[in-house]
Amino acid sequence: MVSVLVQERLLGAALGSILTGIVVFEQRRTIYRSISQSDTHSHVREPIFGKRSRSELAHLWNKAVDRTFGPVIESLSSRGW
């Protein structure tokens, strides 16, 4: 009985992995096709944010995450999580 359950789980995992691999492969193929098609039709575009703006945005994002989740992390750390 146990071996049948193990076999079913292994079969399910294998089939799930195969299906996931196929989906990822097809998505990548679609993305690469769209990139190659857009490369032939597009011009060089300027980035929306400059390098400095992106680093400032990342810093502000990290600061906001620290302020938001800091108390939760401290609480969990004090409990031994």
User: How many whole angstroms separate alpha carbon 41 and alpha carbon 62?
Assistant: 37
Q: What is the pLDDT of residues 49-80, one digit of tens each?
A: 666 777 888 888 889 988 888 888 888 888 87
Residue 37 exposed, middle or buried by CB count within 10 Å (0-12, 13-18, 19+): exposed
Q: Please give the pLDDT value at position 21.
A: 93
Q: What is the pLDDT of residues 19-28, one digit of tens each?
A: 999 999 999 9
Q: Which of the 8 DSSP states describes residue 79? A: T
Q: What is the pLDDT of residues 5-20, one digit of tens each?
A: 888 899 999 999 999 9
What is the pTM assigned to this prediction? 0.42
